Amino acid sequence: METAGEQNDAKSFPFRLAAVDLDGTLLGPDKTISEENAAAVQRLRENGVTVIIASGRRHQNSIRFQRQLGLHGPIIACQGGLIRDGDSGNVVEAHFLPQGVAVTIIDEAEKRDLQIIYYHLDHLYVPERNNRWIDLYESRVGERAEFLPDLKQLDGRRALKIIWYGDPELLAKTRPEVLAHYDGKVDILSTERENLEFMPRGVNKATALAKVAADLGVKQEDVLAFGDGENDAPMLSWAGVGIAMRHGNAAAVAVARRVSPEGPPETAFARAVDELLGQR
């Protein structure tokens, strides 16, 4: 049971909703949640904040971290392309790449000899096995994709996003050309040096967080967001207070209102929460 002091503390804290990124924010370099970060999540909850995960990962991948932390409710997955309840599995909102555009993205990756990772609503598909780029991707997200040799049989259907994986220098050189080619059709970003990610136009973590906040009756100024990547920049900018991890991408740091204190990356989130609670 909460004490009177704890109740007063919760009432005095101005924020009601916090969206927290996984990789590079809640998860350390070893892809686990440190004890300090887990404790920081609980401190936010003790202060009356509803904490949700907002990740570029799939819902099916993110839910294990939600359960580990004892959280409930919606998960923002696939960069905001999917909002799905972690308890019931019900889809709140899903956005898919235009079918014809998705087919073109697959064709171009094959021509450029880049590896494709296909985020289907219910599956994660790759057209090759025993490939160093796919091995790298799977080691980062901690899940094994399904092998589907001919992705064209999907005909671009139900693609929440499509990722190209390959040589960083090639992708960096290719990116301006690809951005111009798909301008107005899809949004393109990079979450690792080795990838380019194709998202439905205008869909990101900020649009998803705005939807969740509205559904929960939380005002924009009462929302916190924590992140470190290029894909976190929109929600860090949208939230009442966006907090970037100091070790994060320059785009995230540039738009955030606050930056985590210096220290090891695996506990950057905890330090950011400590500072926020200490300065309220």
Q: Please, what is the Cα angle at 136 between 57 and 113, to 5 degrees?
A: 100
3-state helix, strand, coil in the chain (%, to 5): 40, 20, 35
**pLDDT value at residue 26:** 98
Assess contact for 245 and 272: CB atoms under 8 A: yes
**pLDDT value at residue 260:** 98
Structure tokens at 110: 């094959």
**pLDDT value at residue 130:** 82
**pLDDT value at residue 2:** 43
**Could you tell me which residues are beta bridge partners of residue 188?**
198
**pLDDT value at residue 10:** 54
What is this structure's pTM?
0.94
Give the helix ranges, DSSP H, for the chain.
4-12, 35-46, 59-68, 99-111, 132-141, 168-181, 205-216, 233-238, 250-255, 268-278
Domains of the chain: 4-94+204-278 (3.40.50.1000), 99-200 (3.30.1240.10)
Specify the length of the chain in residues: 280
Structure tokens at 238: 């949208």
pLDDT tens for the chain, 280 residues: list them: 344 344 445 568 999 999 999 999 999 999 999 999 999 999 999 999 999 999 999 999 999 999 999 999 999 999 999 999 999 999 999 999 999 999 999 999 999 999 999 999 999 999 998 899 999 999 999 999 999 999 999 999 999 999 999 999 999 999 999 999 999 999 999 999 999 999 999 999 999 999 999 999 999 999 999 999 999 999 999 999 999 999 999 999 999 999 999 999 999 999 999 999 996 4
